[in-house]
């Protein structure tokens, strides 16, 4: 374990010219020298990956495996009967879910993809499955949630050492069924809490989990979450994206934290340095509460610039857009002063949907998103699943390397009717009826010119289908999300087929560095301020400008001030980020000129190591906008 230095506000830094700084300790070097700090037996300190800046203090709320909370207390007879009733209701709702999703997947994707839900129905109605859960509720006086958790653990232990792929798939099916049951149990629990007036009361919660997936977010409802800690994941995991979109401090990759934490423990999350403290002493807690107030006060002051234009110190206009996963995020973008939506991740509509959103449901969702988007300007990305984002009825969970396998646009091509339904829904939402002002359609993980031509053929086909059905639609610009190094190398050829480019730096960095961004053991390699990444970004941005094609960067580094300085120096004038960070970048621009940014970039492009660049950019940020350093990197 590593010691935490005293939390103190950042010092004001004197102005100085652009120059190479003297070498100083990097965070990794400092971490290697830290000693475990303890003040009494209760203090637990863990280091992880800082994924969303800021500081949060609150009470732990644990998600153990797929379950919310930690229900282990024995029940009395009346409570046990009530749990039995809750389980039966959840079982009935799950059965209806499975019938509905089977029909939708059958209609849109075919029998092979739909057959998985017949297997899920068989598991749900299996007498042994139900008998065990009911027995543990009645005889062992366990809650329905605890009984399901016990059942999953039993099956997991049973299949733990099997190498049989068929049995491994059956365990995955059992897990999916239990997730559905647990989701319906969570719904009734939240309703009961709301009926009793208990929802949202008490001290803010720090969410502690092994991992955070979209279904967890759906089940959490409106719970007051002010910090997030996960055992797995990196800067661009689901947890990171959720945290950054809401401006919540978060740390991921904190191995072994969940067994050390109980519900109600006091947790400190330092999303600037990547530290997590459990039950700290009074002095440490007081220091962090003070730092938390300073972070919150700074964010509140920055949010006051929401109505001001995004303009650099030398008068250059910049487009600051919002990355969103739903309508609520679009509204947050408008509230934070974004000028539009630069990335709508439509996969979250599918990941959180109880079954399969059909064309009409998608159309209604996109209409709502357009209406909520700042200036009714939005770039909608088609379904981007695979890798760490899996849907039971699409994809192949057995791939040895899913991040570089059958995912994103590659899956869409193999399911043309499903793909066309989403394209039609977007085109319909873009109909020129006065609501949609600027709608653009973007496709993920494009690698070759052939793929771009194929995409255009699909769009033309969708337009013909709508014309034949006499359904109004709009013609939209067609763009690609640049995530694959091969696309970066051949960007000049791809620009002949694309109307615009959005750089997806999250995936681009991990593919360029050959390092899984969600694996804590190698996530340090996924550093956007590495020489290789900066060279590639400079090439792509300048090539787009030379071809007079709009280019936006919509990866998470768009919200990192140190990276923004360099991107501005490359000539980038369109950034898309989590809504909470729009005011931060707007404040940075007020103190930055193109001449200063270009001079800094020129120096950085001559540097040979990531550590050297990070040290330099930390000092430059402290000089350009010193008050932003309190938020961390």
The two tokens of residue 516 are 């899984």
Of 295, 526, 544, 554, which one is the catalytic site residue? Answer: 554
DSSP calls for 184-239? HHHHHHHHHHHHTT-TT-SSPEEEEES---HHHHHHHTT--EEEEEESS--TTSHH
Of 238, 295, 353, 544, which one is the catalytic site residue? Answer: 238
Of the candidates 62, 76, 69, 66, the one whose C-alpha atom is nearest the C-alpha of residue 142 is: 76
What's the CA gap between 216 and 269, in Å, rounded?
20
Q: Catalytic site residue 548?
A: no
What's the CA gap between 52 and 57, in Å, rounded?
14
Rounded to whole angstroms, what are the CA distances from 86 to 40, 72, 186?
A: 43, 17, 10
Cross-strand pairs, 63: 68, 69
DSSP calls for 559-613? G-HHHHHHHHHHT--EEEE-GGGHHHHHHHHHT--HHHHHHHHHHHTT---HHHH
Which residues, 6+ apart, have CB-to-CB distance to 41 below 8 Å? Answer: none
What's the CA gap between 344 and 368, in Å, rounded?
12
Q: Are 271 and 296 in contact (CB under 8 A)?
A: no
The two tokens of residue 574 are 């369109």
φ and ψ at 381, to 5 degrees? -95, 135
Half-sphere exposure of 68 (CA within 13 A, CB side): 22
Of the candidates 42, 478, 439, the one whose C-alpha atom is nearest the C-alpha of residue 278 is: 42
Instruction: Provide the terminal-to-terminal Cα distance of the chain, rounded to the nearest Å.
Output: 22
Q: Catalytic site residue 353?
A: no
Q: Residues with catalytic annotation?
A: 238, 554
């Amino acid at each position: 374990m590593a010691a935490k230095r005293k939390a103190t506000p950042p010092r004001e830094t004197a102005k100085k010219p652009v120059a190479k700084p003297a070498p100083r300790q990097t965070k990794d070097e400092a971490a290697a020298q830290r000693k475990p700090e303890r003040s009494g037996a209760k203090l637990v300190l863990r280091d992880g990956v800082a994924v969303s800046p800021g500081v949060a203090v609150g009470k732990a709320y644990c998600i153990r495996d797929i379950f919310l909370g930690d229900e282990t207390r024995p029940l009395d007879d009346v409570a046990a009967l009530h749990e039995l009733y809750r389980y039966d209701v959840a079982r009935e709702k799950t059965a209806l879910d499975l019938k509905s999703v089977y029909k939708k997947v059958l209609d849109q994707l075919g029998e092979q993809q739909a057959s998985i839900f017949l297997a899920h129905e068989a598991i749900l109605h299996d007498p042994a499955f139900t008998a065990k859960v009911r027995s543990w509720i009645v005889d062992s006086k366990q809650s329905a949630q605890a009984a399901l958790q016990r059942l999953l653990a039993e099956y997991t232990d049973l299949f733990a050492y099997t190498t049989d792929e068929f049995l491994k798939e059956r365990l995955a099916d059992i897990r999916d069924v239990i997730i559905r049951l647990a989701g319906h149990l969570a719904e009734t629990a939240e309703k009961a809490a709301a009926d009793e007036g208990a929802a949202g009361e008490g001290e803010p919660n720090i969410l502690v989990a092994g991992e955070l997936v979209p279904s967890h977010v759906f089940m959490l409802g409106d719970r007051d979450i002010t910090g997030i800690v996960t055992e797995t994941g990196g800067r661009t995991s689901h947890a990171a994206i959720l945290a950054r979109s809401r401006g919540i401090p978060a740390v991921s990759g904190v191995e072994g934290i969940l067994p050390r934490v109980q519900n109600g423990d006091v947790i400190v999350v330092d999303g600037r340095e990547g530290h997590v403290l459990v039950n700290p002493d009074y002095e440490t807690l007081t220091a962090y509460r003070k730092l938390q107030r300073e972070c919150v006060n700074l964010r509140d002051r920055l949010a006051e610039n929401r109505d001001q234009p995004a303009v650099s110190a030398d008068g250059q206009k910049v487009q600051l857009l919002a990355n969103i996963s739903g309508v609520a995020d679009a509204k947050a973008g408008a509230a934070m002063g974004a000028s539009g939506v630069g990335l709508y991740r439509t996969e979250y509509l599918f990941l959180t949907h109880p079954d399969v959103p059909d064309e009409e449901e998608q159309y209604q969702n996109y209409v709502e998103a357009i209406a909520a988007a700042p200036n009714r300007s939005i770039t909608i990305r088609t379904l981007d699943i695979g890798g760490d984002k899996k849907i039971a009825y699409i994809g192949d969970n057995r791939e040895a390397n899913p991040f570089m396998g059958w995912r994103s646009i590659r899956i869409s091509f193999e399911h043309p009717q499903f793909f066309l339904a989403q394209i039609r829904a977007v085109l319909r939402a873009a109909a020129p009826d006065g609501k949609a002002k600027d709608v653009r359609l973007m496709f993920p993980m494009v690698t070759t010119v052939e793929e771009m031509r194929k995409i255009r053929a699909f769009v033309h086909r969708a337009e013909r289908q709508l014309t034949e059905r006499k359904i109004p639609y709009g013609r939209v610009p067609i763009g690609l999300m640049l995530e694959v190094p091969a696309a970066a190398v051949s960007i000049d050829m791809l620009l002949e087929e694309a109307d615009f480019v959005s750089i997806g730096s999250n995936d681009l960095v991990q593919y360029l560095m050959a390092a899984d961004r969600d694996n804590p053991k190698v996530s340090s390699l996924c550093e956007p301020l590495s020489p290789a990444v900066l060279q590639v970004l400079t090439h792509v941005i300048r090539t787009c400008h030379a071809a007079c094609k709009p280019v936006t960067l919509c990866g998470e580094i768009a919200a990192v001030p140190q990276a923004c300085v360099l991107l501005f120096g490359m000539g980038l004038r369109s950034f898309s980020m989590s809504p909470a960070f729009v005011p931060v970048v707007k404040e940075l621009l007020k103190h930055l000129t193109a001449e200063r940014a270009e001079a800094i970039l020129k120096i950085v492009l001559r540097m040979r190591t990531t550590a050297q660049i990070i040290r330099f950019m930390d000092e430059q940020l402290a000089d350009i906008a010193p008050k932003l350093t309190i938020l961390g990197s």
